[in-house]
Amino acid sequence: MSGQKKEIIRLERESVIPIIKPKLIMTLANLIEHNSDRTEFLKLCKRIEYTIRAWYLLQFEDLMQLYSLFDPVHGAQKLEQQNLSPEEIDVLEQNFLMYLFQVMDKSNFKITSDEEIDVALSGQYLLNLPIRVDESKLDKKLLKKYFAEHPHPNLPDFSDKYIIFRRGIGIDRTTDYFFMEKVDMIIARFWGYLLRLTRLEKLLKRSSRQHKEDPKKQDDNNSEACADDLVVERIRLENMELSVRNLLGKITIEEPTFDRIIVVYRRASAKLRTERGIYVKHFKNIPMADMEIVLPEKKNPGLTPMDWVKFLVSAIVGLVAVFGSVEMPKGDLWVIFAILSTVIGYCAKTYFTFQQNLATYQNLITQSMYDKQLDSGKGTLLHLCDDVIQQEVKEVMISFFVLMEQGKATRQDLDERCEELIREEFHESCNFDVDDAVQKLETLGIIARDSIGRYYCIGLKRANEIIGTTTEELVLKARQGGVTPTP
pTM higher than the cut 0.85: no
Query: What are the tens digits of pLDDT across the range 290-309?
Result: 888 888 988 766 555 555 55
pLDDT beyond 80 at 7:
no
Q: What is the pLDDT of residue 355?
A: 62
More confident residue, 54 or 333: 54
Question: Residue 171 forms beta bridges with which residues?
Answer: 256
- Identify the pLDDT of residue 252: 87
Structure confidence at residue 2 (pLDDT): 44
d(CA 71, CA 56): 22
| Helix runs in 198-332, H state only | 200-211, 215-221, 244-248, 305-327
Nearest to 373 by CA among 296, 282, 464, 300: 282
pLDDT: which is higher, 425 or 315: 425
The rounded mean pLDDT for the chain is 81
* Contacting residues for 472 by C-beta, under 8 A, at least 6 apart: 46, 50
pLDDT for the residue 125: 79
The pLDDT assigned to 213 comes to: 44
Kindly give the pairing relationship between strand 251-265 and strand 230-234: unpaired
Buried b vs exposed e over 426-459: b needs ≥16 C-beta within 10 Å? Answer: eeeebbbbbebbbebbeebebbeeeeeebbebbe
Strand partners, 251: 176
Q: Specify the long-range contacts of residues 474-478, CB closer than 8 Å, at least 24 apart.
A: none
- Nearest 5 degrees, angle CA 283-CA 286-CA 292? 95
Count the helix, strand and coil residues of the chain and give each as a percent rounded to the nearest 5.
60, 15, 30
Q: Which of 24-33, 309-318, 322-331: highest mean pLDDT?
A: 24-33
| Rounded CA separation 331/386 (Å) | 78
Average of pLDDT values for 38-42?
Answer: 96
Mean pLDDT of the region 119-123 = 74
Measured between alpha carbons, how far apart are the two ends of the chain, in Å?
75
Provide the 8-state DSSP code for 271.
S
Q: Which residues pair with 262 in a beta bridge?
A: 165, 282
pLDDT at 263 over 90: yes
H-run or E-run covering 9: strand 7-11
User: pLDDT, tens digit, for every residue of 147-196?
Assistant: 999 999 889 999 999 999 999 888 888 888 877 677 777 777 776 676 67
Q: How confident is the model over 396-424, as a mean pLDDT? A: 95
pLDDT of residue 370: 64
Say what the alpha-carbon torsion angle 14, 15, 19, 24 is, to the nearest 10 degrees.
160
Using the predicted structure, report yes or no on whether residue 316 has a pLDDT greater than 90.
no
pLDDT, tens digit, for every residue of 208-223?
A: 444 444 444 444 444 4
